[in-house]
């Protein structure tokens, strides 16, 4: 989960296609310094045998064989409506089943209903464990053409050391952890799944980008941190998003009710205010296509 106060920084400029890799920056980031902070969890690692999703047709592999990383689209031409992508992390770790069984809610149906009522496209970055715990909801989200489902790992282990207290996936298991999440999506009947991956905590380095490269995914970061994790003030979350959004922005939020209880209320302000500014909501896949078209 992303801490309310932390905002994304970047060490190098976006390329013409808004794809960046750590090779382009010239060095690895400090371990654990991802684009946002997520609350730690305790998980059990498990084996995976599923195959990876198909490689994106519109994007070339990153330089030096690394997984490409997308952050946001180039600025929209003045003649076009500015676009913004709202993304929602569906976090759940492998050890949280007992907590879910005891009544803790890691889903947020009201948030999904609000997006549908307002006809707002969105991308859900879902852990495999979330899809297993809520298969009917995962299927419902994944069959709605308004939405798309992307990968947030299976276990929600970190893919670097010292990533905001998260346990760490061994390098030898990184691709398997990702593939196990895609397998959970297929089992749940998710139709609109896309070959994008969001690192838990936003933490990545050359080693993790190299480990995922054979899986044919594009890592998706963000440039606007909503601050909704554990927030109790919906107005503050809305202000943080509205202050941060620029044409082409990717906003990271959460659809985990217990850990982000104000997100749905914040959306009731965010959506109309951004529309008043002329923004058009899109899924990440459209952002990426826009980056390729304008690059």
pLDDT value of position 243 = 98
pLDDT value at 268 more than 60? yes
Distance (Å, rounded) from C-alpha 165 to C-alpha 32? 9
If you average pLDDT over residues 129-152, what whole number do you get?
A: 97
pLDDT above 90 coverage of the chain, percent: 69
Distance (Å, rounded) from C-alpha 39 to C-alpha 34? 13
pLDDT value of position 9 = 33
**Reported confidence tier of residue 63, pLDDT bands at 50, 70, 90:** low
Number of Cβ within a 10 Å radius of residue 4: 18
pLDDT value at 78 more than 80? no
pLDDT in tens, 193-213: 999 999 999 999 999 999 999
> Does domain 63-294 match CATH 1.20.1260.10?
no
Which residue did the predictor score with more confidence, 18 or 144?
144
**Reported confidence tier of residue 1, pLDDT bands at 50, 70, 90:** low
pLDDT value of position 36 = 41
Give the start-to-end residue ranges of the domains of the chain: 63-294
Dihedrals φ, ψ of 164, to 5°?
55, 35
pLDDT value of position 64 = 74
pLDDT above 70 coverage of the chain, percent: 76
**Contact yes or no for 15/295 (Cβ under 8 A):** yes
pLDDT in tens, 103-134: 999 999 999 999 999 999 999 999 999 999 99
pLDDT value at 7 more than 60? no
pLDDT value of position 266 = 98
Q: Which is nearest to 254 in space by CA: 175, 177, 191, 198?
A: 198
Q: Which of 56-60, 160-164, 185-189, 193-197 has the lowest mean pLDDT?
A: 56-60
């Amino acid at each position: 989960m992303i801490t309310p106060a932390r905002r994304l920084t970047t060490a190098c400029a976006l390329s013409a296609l808004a794809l960046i890799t750590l090779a382009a920056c010239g060095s690895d980031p400090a371990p654990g310094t991802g684009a946002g902070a997520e609350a730690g969890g305790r998980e059990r690692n498990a084996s995976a045998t599923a195959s990876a999703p198909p490689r994106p047709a519109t994007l070339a592999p990153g330089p030096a064989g690394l997984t490409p990383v997308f952050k946001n689209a180039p600025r929209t031409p003045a003649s076009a409506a500015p676009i913004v992508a709202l993304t929602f992390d569906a976090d759940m770790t492998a050890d949280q089943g007992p907590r879910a069984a005891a009544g803790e809610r890691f889903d947020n149906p009201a948030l999904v209903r609000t997006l549908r009522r307002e006809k707002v496209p969105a991308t859900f970055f879902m852990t495999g464990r979330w899809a297993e715990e809520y298969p009917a909801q995962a299927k419902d989200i994944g069959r709605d053409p308004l939405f798309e489902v992307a990968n947030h790992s299976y276990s929600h282990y970190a893919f670097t050391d010292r990533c905001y207290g998260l346990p760490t996936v061994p390098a030898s298991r990184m691709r398997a952890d990702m593939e196990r999440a895609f397998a959970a999506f297929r089992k749940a009947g998710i139709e609109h799944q896309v070959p994008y991956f969001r690192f838990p905590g936003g933490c990545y380095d050359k080693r993790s980008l190299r480990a995922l490269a054979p899986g044919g995914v594009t890592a998706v970061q963000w440039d606007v941190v909503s601050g909704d994790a554990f927030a109790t003030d919906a107005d503050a979350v809305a202000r943080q998003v509205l202050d941060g959004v620029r044409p082409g922005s990717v906003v990271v939020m959460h659809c985990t009710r217990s850990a982000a209880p104000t997100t749905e209320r914040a959306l009731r302000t965010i959506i109309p205010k951004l529309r008043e500014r002329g923004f058009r909501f899109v899924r990440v896949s459209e952002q990426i296509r826009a980056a390729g078209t304008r690059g």
